[in-house]
Amino acid sequence: MKLRELLFPLLAVVCAFAVGAIVVLIVGDSPLQVYSLLLGSALSWPDGIGYTLFFATPLIFTGLAVAVALRGGLLNIGAEGQLYVAAFATAWVGIKFAGLPSFLLVPLCCLAAVLAGAAWAAIPGVLKARFGSHEVINTIMLNFVAVALVGYLTQYEYRVAGDPIMESAPIGETAHIARLGRFIPGLPERIPLNVAFLLALVALWLVYVLLWKTKWGYEIRATGQNPAAAEYGGISIRRQIVLTMAISGALAGMVGINEVLGYRYRYYDGFSDNYGFTGIAVALLGRNHPVGILLAALLFAVLQRGGVPVDAFTQLVSKDIVQILQALVILFVAAEAMFRPLQKWIGGRGKGEAGGKGKGENAMRQEVAVVGQQAGVGKI
């Protein structure tokens, strides 16, 4: 069944690219040139593939973060703020405890990343659970607050004196995690792809297990699909909201591990290239499922990698085209009802028609695969 479900996201991507091509045409460049730059540069070895996988790492984390939240009926737009706070926390621990040996310091830094992300996400979770205020607005507000807060801390407290760049002091040597170039022949260590990528793959598997094989995942999904029934089943909705947001934030926070421990070895202000927002597109395109998220993250990583040469080599189009493509993907995925006639034609049997006689009331209920689950998205 999973294979047939790939068809629809594929259609969404194709449509997004088609509209994107029109935009490029209007602007005056050649879609063919833009797209070949966008997609082609990802294929080279070692730079293309190496950088693509490196870019995919944070997208997997934020994609998982948004997906877990969506499964729980929540829309976490705050991954951007959560990953900044987490990255800073990681660097802070790496600086403060620089003397510790690797086997202590690295886990400690990772823990900092996860806890900081979870805490920053728990705030809007608590606000929603306690006051009912919508997480979309609160997470966005907290994004701005996070950026300001972390910017202040970097500028005034943790910068090396005399350094004009907005970055923190370097973390201790023992906090560094290895680049994959050390283990893979032919992959130079200058390419920032590091162990965090493997951590991302593990995270994909862990989220799968969490959602479908554990009771917590059951409770997250039940709350996301039907909070009233979940409550009837003895699940505390308030606790679920906070817990789900915390898990979501923890996943987003892992971006800090990739960035600080594996790449720059310090906190670098503004390092995120919209990872938080791209995560939304990744989660939606990946249908909130780890397999889909992996594929979607790779796709967007390819686009991000391709954005650099597009910026450099085309006259008029900038790498903003990548963000436009993301937005188009989101819109086409959200408008999935558009593809329904095509799906029926190809022979998919809708849920409402499987087996049963489905008398009256049920047959009249149109089956709508809910992207982003209406149940939890509440009223704004």
Site for another protein in 73-112 (CB under 8 A): 75, 77
Give yes or no for residue 23 binding another protein (CB under 8 A).
yes
Residue of 232, 312, 342, 346 that binds another protein (CB under 8 A): 232
Q: What is the footprint of another protein within residues 132-191 (CB under 8 A)?
A: 132-134, 136-138, 140-142, 144-145, 148-149, 151-152, 155-156
Residue of 7, 21, 27, 166 that binds another protein (CB under 8 A): 27
Those residues with Cβ within 8 angstroms of residue 8's Cβ, 6 or more apart along the chain or in another chain: 336, 339, 343
Give yes or no for residue 15 binding another protein (CB under 8 A).
no
Give yes or no for residue 2 binding another protein (CB under 8 A).
no
- Total chain residues near another protein (CB under 8 A): 99
For residue 179, give the 3-state DSSP assignment: strand
Give yes or no for residue 119 binding another protein (CB under 8 A).
no
Nearer to another protein, 29 or 47 (CB): 29
Residue of 162, 234, 341, 347 that binds another protein (CB under 8 A): 234
Nearer to another protein, 107 or 350 (CB): 350
Nearest to 249 by CA among 378, 117, 53: 117
Nearest to 142 by CA among 280, 288, 276: 276
- CA dist., res. 86 & res. 234, Å (int): 33
Nearer to another protein, 31 or 50 (CB): 31
Those residues with Cβ within 8 angstroms of residue 320's Cβ, 6 or more apart along the chain or in another chain: none
Half-sphere exposure of residue 57, counting CA atoms within 13 Å on the CB side? Answer: 28
Q: What is the footprint of another protein within residues 189-228 (CB under 8 A)?
A: 212-216, 218-219, 221-222, 225-226, 228
Give yes or no for residue 33 binding another protein (CB under 8 A).
no
Q: How far is the CB of 39 from another protein (least distance, A)?
A: 18
Nearer to another protein, 163 or 320 (CB): 320
Is the Cβ–Cβ distance between 250 and 114 less than 8 Å? yes
Nearer to another protein, 161 or 364 (CB): 364
- CA dist., res. 357 & res. 341, Å (int): 23
Measured in whole angstroms, the distance separating CA 34 from the mean position of its chain's CA atoms is: 25
Q: What is the footprint of another protein within residues 350-379 (CB under 8 A)?
A: 350-368, 370-374, 377-379
Nearest to 85 by CA among 55, 127, 119: 119
Residue of 52, 90, 168, 326 that binds another protein (CB under 8 A): 326
Residue of 107, 188, 233, 270 that binds another protein (CB under 8 A): 233
Give yes or no for residue 348 binding another protein (CB under 8 A).
no
For residue 84, give the 3-state DSSP assignment: helix
Q: How far is the CB of 9 from another protein (least distance, A)?
A: 14
For residue 114, give the 3-state DSSP assignment: helix
Segment holding 324, helix H or strand E: helix 320-334
Nearer to another protein, 183 or 359 (CB): 359
Instruction: Tell me the β-bridge partners of 194.
Output: 179
Nearer to another protein, 189 or 367 (CB): 367
Q: How far is the CB of 81 from another protein (least distance, A)?
A: 10
Residue with tokens 């670098």: 268
Is the Cβ–Cβ distance between 141 and 147 less than 8 Å? no
Q: How far is the CB of 336 from another protein (least distance, A)?
A: 7
- CA dist., res. 179 & res. 182, Å (int): 6
- CA dist., res. 296 & res. 278, Å (int): 10
Give yes or no for residue 341 binding another protein (CB under 8 A).
no
Q: What is the footprint of another protein within residues 260-289 (CB under 8 A)?
A: 274, 277, 280-281, 284
Q: What is the footprint of another protein within residues 290-319 (CB under 8 A)?
A: 316-318
Half-sphere exposure of residue 323, counting CA atoms within 13 Å on the CB side? Answer: 10
Nearer to another protein, 190 or 344 (CB): 344
